[in-house]
Structure 1
Amino acid sequence: MKLRLTAEQDAVVGRARAFASSRLRARVAEFDQAGVPREIVQALGREGLLGALVPADLGGSPLDAITWGLVTEEIGKVCCNTRYLLTVHASIVAGTLARWGSRAQKAKWLPALATGDVVGAFALSEPETGSDAANVRTRYEASEGGFRIEGRKRWTTFGAMADVFLVFARRGDEVTAFLVERDRPNVHVKPIRDVLAGRGSHLAELHFEGVEVPKENVVGSLGAGFRYVCSTALDIGRYSVAWAAVGVAQGALEAMSTYAGKREQFGQRLHEFQLVKAMIADAVTDVHAARALCMHAGMLRDKRDPEAMIESSIAKQFAARVATRVTADALQVHGAYGLLHGGVVEMLFREARALSIIEGSTQIQQIVIGDHGAQAYGEGTHET
């Protein structure tokens, strides 16, 4: 499906496509094993691709939601591990700080996040708390100099590389967000390895053992961590991951179609067999539908329409399922070659599975969408 873009939008998306082709494609397997290097982070910053949600007067290169989504797709269809950086660092951390940070916080952190000189990570999930984000167990208490934080976070994407963390902690019934610098005393970072997906995204477990932070490190206000700061972050994350799923599915569709056009069996190219042709047809339809849902959500986001949040959930749920289906079919078409470790299809297949879990599992999205549907479409129903 072709979207009519302005010349400016097309230039930005083209820049992302060229970056993915020239700087990422040949190194995807390397990044999957060793992690995305800081040089790539800074190169993305120089391209203006980390400041999409940062105001221009703070060093950003603001993009509308649809253009940012298409950039995410272009990077994600080539290198999922680099795409994680766009979701967490550029979208969730920078975007949330741009919305809720104090003037001093924005001036200090946003220019460095936009250039990639500083890497940010989102520290919400814990060993016992994932989608139940309102019940984080990491604690904070007032101290002489500000606040003291105690607890653990897990599955922190780019946590092993990050210079600053957006951390959520509880005091009684209130949850507050803090900026915690990596170099503060008693911050301990333990890399997480040997995972199915996101192997190169510098996953980490974080330990905060009585970490002291000043009052000026509170993001938003005391007690506003979940309802405002976290809700904003998760909404941005869902939208980004929806586009990430489109990227994974598009990458798999391209790989499947290319291979089917070259590989011969029984005297025919694979794409001439009706069942293979059906797989490609279903993939094309699914990818187009998923992208359309993402575009619709992006359009609403640009209009600041309150329906944008639920539309992002719908897009994320559907696109994640599409990514799972299309990558599975792409692997099937590739046969034994699809099983090769480090191959394009094998990596996309692994990454697709994670998209149904991260930023709110498919089941959580079903609950949210189901509640919305019951209210939005229930009027006028009656028992028979």
Structure 2
Amino acid sequence: MADSGRLNLNPVDLYDIRSMLSDDERMVQDTVARFTDERVLPIIGDCFDKGVFPLDLIPEIAELGLLGSSLPSQYGGAEMNAVSYGLICQELERGDSGIRSFVSVQSSLCMYPIFAYGSEEQRVRWLPQMAQGKVIGCFGLTEPHGGSDPANMKTHAKKDGDDWIINGAKMWITNGGLAHIAIVWARTDDGIQGFIVERGMKGFATRDIHRKMSLRASVTSELFFDNVRVPDANRLPNVKGLKGPLGCLTQARYGITWGPIGAAIACLTEASEYAKTRILFNKPIGATQAVQLKLADMARRITLAQLLVLQLGRLKDAGKMQPTQVSLAKWNNCRMAIDIAREARDILGAAGITTEFCPIRHGLNLESVITYEGTETVHQLVVGREITGINAF
């Protein structure tokens, strides 16, 4: 029943969450939204079709301060808070998961470990160049035999004088073929340790993975280490054990909890506009109860996800965020977004299978997002362990 006196709500912000953001946070969101609208959306469908990453966008992304945005300014960072970083991820993934993945890897998986676990010399050498987009990094943890059990790592590093000799392989590595450096985690006689492996080091090679049906506008690669000699000065000195790479993944997963909301918003927006203009049986399909129920459910799920990540971001900024909370949000929000992408594709009918519309592209991308940095099952079991106190892995 219509109410002519009511105020119209924003269909993709039904609880006016934007009003809960600070002026700085709104400015960040608006800036990245404008970049996505003007620079990403006009080209990303073609990039996806051709299977290429838009390299020309890297300087612009860096100029906006989106690389290492949370790090101190002395290392090239913009000193943004966690909510701002989340909004960056949301707006970039509204464009494409591949663009958000590039920024997530550079910021959370490469710059963060150098900042958190590296020496001051490493921070000064690498971070300002990475913030400027002049040095691109990748994160070498997942291996060909399986990704959900990092403790079963095969890549190893042996001490040889003042150097380390690394042998092994990594798989499904975002930015691998672009990277100037790789943050590589390897087993040593003193536990798992991290190393900065530089392109050009003898025995280090990368090979891009093709025939992908997901994250096509992103570079995904294999890394190979054949007796790669790495100086001890390139070892991250301030962490040992799995807490190093898992700490990096918590940072990146936090961004992923926000990103899929952007993809879901893009799908809902396109589906709702199509529903208003697609005429069947002498009326728009948006006038049918079946379609309105689907759109309403999309809006409900997006709203819940938005509230979830805003609280998660506030907890992170207060220093109170726990990994289980990140797992819950990644599980919920990735599932939310992939379901919405599929429903939006259905509303679009046959038109929805082309990249002229975004849902099929977002849906395919989200097949990767729901898998990487902890599958849905892994995160469900993390929450289950928290509830029961029993490890079911």
TM-score normalised per structure 1: 0.94
| Counterpart amino acid of residue 302 in structure 1 | D
The match for 2:234 among 210, 214, 217 is 217
Unaligned regions of 5+ residues in structure 2, if any? 1-12
User: Any conservation in 1 of the 2:344–2:359 contact (CA below 8 Å)?
Assistant: yes
Cα distance in 2 for partners of 1:375, 1:145 equals 43
Cα distance in 1 for partners of 2:201, 2:217 equals 25
Residue of structure 2 in register with 1:198 after alignment: 215
| Counterpart amino acid of residue 27 in structure 2 | A
| Counterpart amino acid of residue 282 in structure 1 | D
1:191-216 deviations in Å (ceiling 9; x for gaps): 00111211221100011101011111
* 1:283 counterpart = 2:275: no
In the TM superposition, residue 368 of structure 1 has moved relative to its aligned partner by 0.6
Greater than 4 Å deviation, 4+ residue runs: none
The match for 1:27 among 23, 34, 43 is 43
1:228-273 deviations in Å (ceiling 9; x for gaps): x212111012111111221111111111111111111111111111
SS of 1:246's partner is: helix
Distance 1:208 1:342, change over 3 A: farther
1:337-384 deviations in Å (ceiling 9; x for gaps): 1112564121011012222211100100011100111249xxxxxxxx
SS of 1:200's partner is: coil
Residue of structure 2 in register with 1:368 after alignment: 382
Unaligned regions of 5+ residues in structure 1, if any? 377-384
* 1:130 counterpart = 2:144: no
| Counterpart amino acid of residue 276 in structure 1 | V
Residue of structure 2 in register with 1:65 after alignment: 82
1:6-30 deviations in Å (ceiling 9; x for gaps): 2222111111011111111111023
Superposition RMSD in Å: 1.6
- Equivalent residues in 2 for 1:1-384, closer than 5 Å: 1=13, 2-3=17-18, 4-32=20-48, 33-172=50-189, 174-221=191-238, 224-227=240-243, 229-305=244-320, 307-341=321-355, 343-375=357-389
User: Any conservation in 1 of the 2:68–2:106 contact (CA below 8 Å)?
Assistant: no
Cα distance in 1 for partners of 2:231, 2:263 equals 41
Cα distance in 2 for partners of 1:341, 1:19 equals 20
TM-score normalised per structure 2: 0.92
SS of 1:131's partner is: coil
In the TM superposition, residue 31 of structure 1 has moved relative to its aligned partner by 2.4
| Counterpart amino acid of residue 186 in structure 1 | G
User: Any conservation in 1 of the 2:257–2:334 contact (CA below 8 Å)?
Assistant: yes
Cα distance in 2 for partners of 1:209, 1:145 equals 18
| Counterpart amino acid of residue 368 in structure 2 | A
In the TM superposition, residue 225 of structure 1 has moved relative to its aligned partner by 4.1
In the TM superposition, residue 41 of structure 1 has moved relative to its aligned partner by 1.2
User: Any conservation in 1 of the 2:158–2:189 contact (CA below 8 Å)?
Assistant: no
User: Any conservation in 2 of the 1:168–1:225 contact (CA below 8 Å)?
Assistant: no
Cα distance in 2 for partners of 1:91, 1:357 equals 18
| Counterpart amino acid of residue 351 in structure 1 | N
Cα distance in 2 for partners of 1:151, 1:342 equals 41
Cα distance in 2 for partners of 1:342, 1:127 equals 34
| Counterpart amino acid of residue 60 in structure 1 | G
Cα distance in 2 for partners of 1:273, 1:243 equals 31
Cα distance in 2 for partners of 1:338, 1:68 equals 31
Cα distance in 2 for partners of 1:102, 1:357 equals 32
In the TM superposition, residue 38 of structure 1 has moved relative to its aligned partner by 2.8
**Which structure ranks higher in relative contact order (CA pairs < 8 Å, sequence separation ≥ 6)?**
2
Cα distance in 2 for partners of 1:90, 1:342 equals 31
User: Any conservation in 2 of the 1:298–1:308 contact (CA below 8 Å)?
Assistant: no
Cα distance in 1 for partners of 2:263, 2:136 equals 24
Residue of structure 1 in register with 2:6 after alignment: none
Provide the identity percentage: 27
SS of 1:219's partner is: coil
Indicate the larger mover: 64-73 or 340-349.
340-349
In the TM superposition, residue 103 of structure 1 has moved relative to its aligned partner by 0.5
Cα distance in 2 for partners of 1:97, 1:115 equals 15
In the TM superposition, residue 118 of structure 1 has moved relative to its aligned partner by 0.8
1:261-306 deviations in Å (ceiling 9; x for gaps): 111111111111101000000000001111211111111111111x
Distance 1:39 1:231, change over 3 A: same
Residue of structure 2 in register with 1:380 after alignment: none
Distance 1:246 1:334, change over 3 A: same
User: Any conservation in 2 of the 1:169–1:177 contact (CA below 8 Å)?
Assistant: yes
Cα distance in 1 for partners of 2:133, 2:77 equals 11
| Counterpart amino acid of residue 52 in structure 1 | S
Give the length in aligned residue pairs: 373
User: Any conservation in 1 of the 2:54–2:217 contact (CA below 8 Å)?
Assistant: no
